[in-house]
Amino acid sequence: MSTGLLTLFCAAAFVLVWWLARSRARSIEQANRGQRLHSRPVYHGVYVALLTVIPALLVVVAWAIAEPFYLSKIMSAALPPDVAARPAGEQSLVLLVINSLADGWSRLTAADIAQVREAGPDVQRMLAAKDIFLPSAPEGWMVDIARDVSQAKSVSRLLATGVTVLAAVGGFFYGWRKVATGLRARNLVERMMLLGLMSASAVAIFTTIGIVFSVLFESIHFFSMVPVTDFLFGTVWDPRFSAAGSDSSGQFGVLPLLWGTLYISFFALLVAVPVGLMSAIYMSEYANERVRTVAKPMLEILAGIPTIVYGLFALIAFGPFLRDFGGSLGLDISANSVLTAGIVMGVMIIPFISSLSDDIISAVPQSLRDGSYGLGATQSETIKQVVLPAALPGIVGAVLLAASRAIGETMIVVMAAGIAANLTANPFEQVTTMTVKIVSQLTGDLEFNSPQTLVAFALGLTLFVITLGLNVFALHIVRTYREQYD
């Protein structure tokens, strides 16, 4: 049965059960000479319907998670000893062939199978015509395993259907028998709803935790090959891609990357904070309605431009311009430089700062401005000494948000600052950032146990710690000021 049909069936079952149980609640009410039910009949209906559908859904989900484990266990157990002894990489290829074959088993006739066993020249093409795509022609023993696996799968499916139906029917009867005048159906339904809401937020939380832990474990794996101190305090980034098995592991000093990240972000903020803040002040305090309605959306369009477009702009227009301009002043500015990336990234984050700060400044109560004007302060004195200090926590939050955008930015850096890890104070030279190196370590031919690849996780973890620290700091500032101002 297709997923769509299944969903439809579930919905139909839900409505039917709901209707049945509601009617039952009503007739019970009448049979007891109008003795009031604790909850309205609707709730009885929903209660029984939920009891019918939820256990069945849980069974389906649990089965979908457990089945692959069970099948792969059967498969590994059936592998010939010489194959089982091969390294994991080669084994996975064999497993892939068996799996694909098992998946399509039901579409193969006995004649097809015989042909596969004979291993004729056109086997792969014949299978492909039946939507079975194999990386290599299967050997005889693979066909045997595939048959076993496919049989195990059919049995498992049959069982799953049985258990699901059982769960649904069991749930239904359990609920059905409980419908009575005293059943606190509304409270029970509300509790189930609450559980649903809680599990929705749990999804977000557990995903985060899962990501953090997987990054953490891979990083620990990395640090078992490269000492933490070499990573954190190393000043050279040179992760030579080495042939598998060879010992030369390269150097993994994160400092040049960290430096590049912070240096570029610094320039970006140097551009974005003054420009963004001043435009926010103009928009919220000085601009009349006509200017606002035109200029504000224009500024916000900046935020909608994909960063790759900024990168392009930096690469083909701004970088060369800066190089030539520097040349005319006698400065040696590389087309890819900290300055180029910083300035372009600064332009990119202007709208974050200006738009958020504008909202925050506009939210400062008019009564504070009136109070200041009433004491004979000018508009600029009022803005500087009353409005901005009151808006400061929010503005700091906006700046930190922009900073974490800058730190996480990749495309602009690749195109505007280059990919050479460089520990330099000269803003006219190339540098690169952690995000860029994460990408470059993970592209190309991968070998998942080498420090060259695993270092990406360590970089990711470092980045995560930095942005987390930034957010905690931002929250702290906002809290302290808020206590003072409310």
Residue 66 CB, shortest distance to other proteins, in Å, is 58
Residue 471 CB, shortest distance to other proteins, in Å, is 24
Nearer CB in complex with other proteins: 36/290: 290
3-state secondary structure the chain: CCHHHHHHHHHHHHHHHHHHHHHHHHHHHHHCCCCCCCCCHHHHHHHHHHHHHHHHHHHHHHHHHHHHHHHHHHHHHHCCHHHHCCCHHHHHHHHHHHHHHHHCHHHCCHHHHHHHHHCCCCHHHHHHHCCCCCCCCCCHHHHHHHHHHHHHHHHHHHHHHHHHHHHHHHHHHHHHHHCCCCCCHHHHHHHHHHHHHHHHHHHHHHHHHHHHHHHHHHHHHHHHHCCHHHHHHCCCEECCCCCCCCCCCCEECCHHHHHHHHHHHHHHHHHHHHHHHHHHHHHHHHCCHHHHHHHHHHHHHHHHCCHHHHHHHHHHHHHHHHHHHHHHCCCCCCCCCHHHHHHHHHHHHHHHHHHHHHHHHHCCCHHHHHHHHHCCCCHHHHHHHHHHHHHHHHHHHHHHHHHHHHHHCCHHHHHHCCCCCCCCCCCCCCCCCHHHHHHHHHCCCCCCCCHHHHHHHHHHHHHHHHHHHHHHHHHHHHHHHHHHHC
Residue 171 CB, shortest distance to other proteins, in Å, is 56
List residues binding other proteins (CB under 8 A): 288, 365, 367-378, 381, 385-386, 389-390, 484-486
Nearer CB in complex with other proteins: 130/482: 482
Nearer CB in complex with other proteins: 217/286: 286
Residue 375 CB, shortest distance to other proteins, in Å, is 4
Residue 289 CB, shortest distance to other proteins, in Å, is 9
Nearer CB in complex with other proteins: 246/484: 484
Residue 374 CB, shortest distance to other proteins, in Å, is 4
Nearer CB in complex with other proteins: 220/377: 377
Residue 478 CB, shortest distance to other proteins, in Å, is 13
Nearer CB in complex with other proteins: 391/414: 391
Residue 254 CB, shortest distance to other proteins, in Å, is 41
Nearer CB in complex with other proteins: 208/379: 379
Nearer CB in complex with other proteins: 315/390: 390
